[in-house]
Structure 1
Amino acid sequence: MEDRESSKANERRIFGISWNVFVLGLVSFLNDMSSEMISPVVPKYLTDVLKTGELLGGTLMGAIESLSSLFKVAFGYISDRFRKRKVFIFTGYALSAFSKGALAFTRYWWDFLSLRILDRVGKGIRTAPRDALIAESSEKGKTGKSFGFHRMMDTLGAVTGPLVGIALLYLMRGMIAEKAYRYLFLFSAVPGLLSLLIIALFVKERGREVRKKITGISALKSRNLRLFLAVVAVGALGRYSYAFTLWKASELGYSLRDEMAFYALFNLMYAAAAYPIGFYSDRVGKRKLITVGFMIAALASLAFAYAEDLPSLIAAFVLYGLYIAIEDTVPRAYMADLAGDFEKGTVIGTYHTVFGIFVFPASVVAGYLWQNYSLSHSFLYAAAMNLLAFVMMLSVPERD
């Protein structure tokens, strides 16, 4: 253990971040730029081009969000067993790059869904091994800082992507909307392909440096972690797809370009908050910040439910960005701290899988409420679930 910590201390660092964490941050920047070039277009593509209704649209978005998580615990476990991360990271990003470009050729909701599932499978393959490699490449007690940097880079890509998408749509102005969407899907594959080159050349394996322990108590057996996973499940039931926020903007009369600007604002808030939140979580305690995050989630949902004008809608997107910055950053570091060196991929993958199982019905319920009542009812439901998660989180102790 001391040798491994010593090698981390002597490892090349950039901006106080280990080489692997920096490179993986750059990879996530490019991949998210690729993804977010098209993400704001997807809701309109579903409803306007593929002609899905509210319930089917919400269900598809929920399925897409959820399916990747079902693979994360399996590939986290496999990467733990073989002490290799890089091959899973590369394969996952490769599947995502291919599937996004191939969306240009979809004609029906089911071929669209199959490619989005392939993209999510890619995410499922890479996420737990990548997060485990980030944890293994971090100094002791500074996992929050590392995950905060990674989420910041990931989200800066998500800020850049919609802006690039807006620019490309502007250049294609006058073109039939469906054709412009398809060209945008093709362009989105380029940054994804560049990220593969960076992984192949610059990411370094660390798993072999962690000696496998024959005997050891898994963190998955602890009461603390099981209580936390129960909270994760409830919180996931209130985690609607980003598409609902864009549908809200559309309901208030904003154009597709306006929606992409709102989406960029959300991601800008996410990117600005993720690194300081991760850094701060190492100092004040990750459980406390996760608890606060659920309260902010409830406030964001209420803001979307009652937004009627531009200032209230902007406030909703800002709160949503802050909430996601907390809940997408701190729980990963929290799980990494609880896990032993021999099981980081498995434990982090378990978190992602529990989240993914319960986030799917969240969007189905939200779609049902939208179709049969109103979009505001969808957000009110999410607010209630996040308030429940907040109360439950108060019962989770700092440590067993």
Structure 2
Amino acid sequence: MEERKKKIFGISWNVFLLGIVSFLNDMSSEMIMPVMPSYLMEVLDAGKLLSGSVMGAIESMSSLFKVAFGYVSDRFRKRKAFVFAGYALSTLAKGALAFTRYWWDFLLLRALDRIGKGIRTAPRDALIAESSEKGKTGKSFGFHRMMDTLGAVAGPLVAIALIEFLKSLPAETAYRYIFLLSAVPGAISLFVIILFVKDRGGEVKKKIKGISTLKNRNLQLFLAVVAIGALGRYSYAFTMWKAQELGYSVVQSIAFYALFNLIYALSAYPLGVYSDTFGKKRMITLGFGVAALAALAFAYARNFYTLIAAFVLYGIYIAIEDTIPRAYMADLAREYEKGTIIGAYHTVFGVFVFPASVIAGWLWGSYSLAYTFTFAAAMNVVAMVLMAFVRE
């Protein structure tokens, strides 16, 4: 208990350390994320619909496991083991991308990476909630998302540096080196988990008696709204394809992506802190509105300034969506089922992200990217309106 009282930057040491882990892991992930769209299209020769569907499947894959491993970690009260296993599987899968030859083995390894995310996410988020001061979950999750996204800022910058350093090599070879090197920061994060992160689940003495919170009608309505909002979620790859459609190079589109992640990182922590007083329901509703504006900006971007505005709005939208609902669910959940409840949120969201990207890919291939983003805007407007029926 004494160690739990130790704080840095106003948060517990455990939350701080999990932020470091996420920084390193996301740096690893984001080193490869910006080059994956080009790798799929140019090296693996996947078409537009297939590329969009593959990216969507990758985003959705992990969610099928989140509620299950959240529940198992609730049962055993040992979050750390699941957090380590999930990060380890992802690190191995990312490095192995260097040896892919077809879209299907690429998809298999990306699926293993996402399965790793599915194993770790709900137990990690539950551990963050358990390590947080009461009434300050927004602050803790905001800090964690900030650190996670600072890694996402560093990753593309490292990717740009590597592309420049390896520019004398064929593009395919350079991509493969980047995949291999991405495993290094991921491996460092594993040592941080082993040596420093502590379990907190044992401090909750009450045994599981049922998933009572999931039977709450208000929570069920919120999860339905989450599903509709997820239909308006499009992979980051579509934003990069939009930049390339306007004539920007792969390296320039990576720079736009780094800007998005910088805005995300700078927004997540203050928005998380503010949500503790402003109200998490209000902040989530606002997030759907910002999401609609971002999608419309991408749809009708014709010049540099509109595209910049789109990426800025996209960064704020994702900062809200990836931070506040987690804290909201943690506040709703009873102490003995936080992993299960947070996992349920991730699962519902992820299950609906896959058809969203299939639809987005089909609209792009059949019509244009403008239709893809307009559809996303419409879904977020519907979700924003329906939030009025969710009680505080």
Q: How many residues align?
A: 392
C-alpha distance in structure 2 between counterparts of 1:242 and 1:264, whole Å: 11
C-alpha distance in structure 2 between counterparts of 1:275 and 1:214, whole Å: 32
C-alpha distance in structure 2 between counterparts of 1:92 and 1:262, whole Å: 29
Match of 2:265 in 1: 271
Question: How is 1:323-338 mapped onto 2 (pairs within 5 angstroms)?
Answer: 323-338=317-332
Asked if 1:43 corresponds to 2:37, the answer is yes
Match of 1:255 in 2: 249
**For 1:312, which of 306, 330, 349 is the aligned residue?**
306
CA pair 8-344 structure 1, distance change in 2 beyond 3 A: farther
Equivalent pair of 2:89/2:112 in contact (CA under 8 Å): yes
C-alpha RMSD over aligned residues: 1.0
Residue identity opposite 1:236 in structure 2? A
**For 1:177, which of 171, 177, 188 is the aligned residue?**
171
Residue identity opposite 1:178 in structure 2? E
Equivalent pair of 1:8/1:137 in contact (CA under 8 Å): no
Equivalent pair of 1:9/1:139 in contact (CA under 8 Å): no
**For 2:156, which of 145, 162, 165 is the aligned residue?**
162
Equivalent pair of 1:8/1:139 in contact (CA under 8 Å): no
Match of 1:134 in 2: 128
Match of 2:81 in 1: 87
Asked if 1:240 corresponds to 2:234, the answer is yes
Asked if 1:369 corresponds to 2:363, the answer is yes
C-alpha distance in structure 1 between counterparts of 2:391 and 2:224, whole Å: 13
Unaligned runs of 5+ in 2: none
C-alpha distance in structure 2 between counterparts of 1:214 and 1:349, whole Å: 16
Equivalent pair of 2:156/2:258 in contact (CA under 8 Å): yes
C-alpha distance in structure 2 between counterparts of 1:216 and 1:244, whole Å: 41
Deviations 1:188-240 (A, max 9, x none): 00000000000000000100011124557721111111110000000000001
User: TM-score, normalised on structure 2?
Assistant: 0.99
Equivalent pair of 1:67/1:356 in contact (CA under 8 Å): yes
Report the 3-state secondary structure (helix = DSSP H, G, I; strand = E; otherwise coil) of the residue aligned with 2:34: coil
Equivalent pair of 2:83/2:123 in contact (CA under 8 Å): yes
Report the 3-state secondary structure (helix = DSSP H, G, I; strand = E; otherwise coil) of the residue aligned with 1:244: helix
Residue identity opposite 1:392 in structure 2? L
C-alpha distance in structure 2 between counterparts of 1:352 and 1:64, whole Å: 14
C-alpha distance in structure 1 between counterparts of 2:2 and 2:47, whole Å: 52
Match of 2:102 in 1: 108
**For 1:322, which of 298, 316, 325 is the aligned residue?**
316
Match of 1:99 in 2: 93
Match of 2:389 in 1: 395
**For 2:57, which of 56, 63, 83 is the aligned residue?**
63
Equivalent pair of 2:97/2:109 in contact (CA under 8 Å): yes
Match of 1:229 in 2: 223
C-alpha distance in structure 1 between counterparts of 2:360 and 2:210, whole Å: 42
Residue identity opposite 1:85 in structure 2? R
CA pair 210-160 structure 1, distance change in 2 beyond 3 A: same
Equivalent pair of 2:52/2:357 in contact (CA under 8 Å): yes
User: How much identity, in percent, do the aligned residues show?
Assistant: 73
CA pair 366-214 structure 1, distance change in 2 beyond 3 A: closer
C-alpha distance in structure 1 between counterparts of 2:97 and 2:208, whole Å: 46
Asked if 1:380 corresponds to 2:368, the answer is no
Unaligned runs of 5+ in 1: 1-6
Question: How is 1:212-223 mapped onto 2 (pairs within 5 angstroms)?
Answer: 212-213=206-207, 215=209, 218-223=212-217
Report the 3-state secondary structure (helix = DSSP H, G, I; strand = E; otherwise coil) of the residue aligned with 1:212: coil
Residue identity opposite 1:69 in structure 2? S
Report the 3-state secondary structure (helix = DSSP H, G, I; strand = E; otherwise coil) of the residue aligned with 1:41: helix
Match of 1:3 in 2: none
C-alpha distance in structure 2 between counterparts of 1:394 and 1:80, whole Å: 32
Q: CA deviation at 1:10?
A: 5.5
Residue identity opposite 1:43 in structure 2? P
Residue identity opposite 2:14 in structure 1? N
Match of 1:15 in 2: 9
CA pair 9-141 structure 1, distance change in 2 beyond 3 A: farther
